[in-house]
Amino acid sequence: MTTKVAVVGASGRMGQLFSRIVDETEGFEIFARIGSSGDLSEMIGADLVVDVTVPAVSHSIVDFALTNEIPVLVGTSGWSADRIRALERRLVDNPELGAVIIPNFSVGSVLASSFAAMAARFYDSIEIVEAHHATKIDSPSGTSVRTAELIAAARGPLGPVSAPHTDQRARGQQVASVPIHSLRLQGVVAKQDVILGGVGEVLTISHETLSPSAYEAGIVIALRAATQARGVIVGLDKLVDLSPDAGER
């Protein structure tokens, strides 16, 4: 059976990448290519909606897709924890539907965020510096927000990280108590450093995307998972096995 995919935001760089990968992946085909401000009714009849637009319109696209009982794969940044919780409450009444939200489709980025969460229990001083291309309109990035939330969850009873002088604007935006510093520069695709400070040492967990091709493997994983998803799934880490012995099974 072939999965018919409607890509919303198809003219953007991620939309073009998604469209190409859908065309190249067995079992999938493009049903509709829709602009960020296009007629959403064009998605009706699709088996899956991919949203790679901008934060200002992403919510309405997801709402339209779910209202028409079409599962959705979200690659748009800006989905806060509150917005995700509201989406979870909505899908309680429709358990057959699924929404998959992926802040970053790079497997390397997912690994780096997971490593940062593992290290967070051993350091109280943690900050994130993220950089993206100059045209990215939102900050902090969805990846850095997701990383900060994973760090906070991993720390659990240890509580918030130590972040002095947060009243100063130059100290970044706090997400789950972790200061995030955003750079928007020409010549950059995407880069994130999680910097953990301890007594007598500093640990930096760094990941840099050099080309959009880094997203391709994760996009295929997410496409296949989204067709079977139920409820809300957040993060590529939920779709891949990160256990140390996964390769031996």
- ∠ Cα 81 11 103 (to 5°): 20
Which of 4, 59, 136, 238 is the catalytic position?
136
| CA dihedral for 136, 101, 228, 93, sign (positive or negative) | negative
Q: Active-site residue 136, yes or no?
A: yes
110 with 240: CB under 8 angstroms?
yes
AA identity, residue 64: F
Element (H, E) at 145: helix 142-155
Q: Which residues contact 189 (CB under 8 A, 6 or more apart)?
A: 132, 133, 208, 209, 210, 211, 212
Which of 132, 165, 191, 207 is the catalytic position?
132
AA identity, residue 176: A
198 with 123: CB under 8 angstroms?
yes
Q: Which residues contact 85 (CB under 8 A, 6 or more apart)?
A: none
Q: Which residues are marked as active site?
A: 132, 136
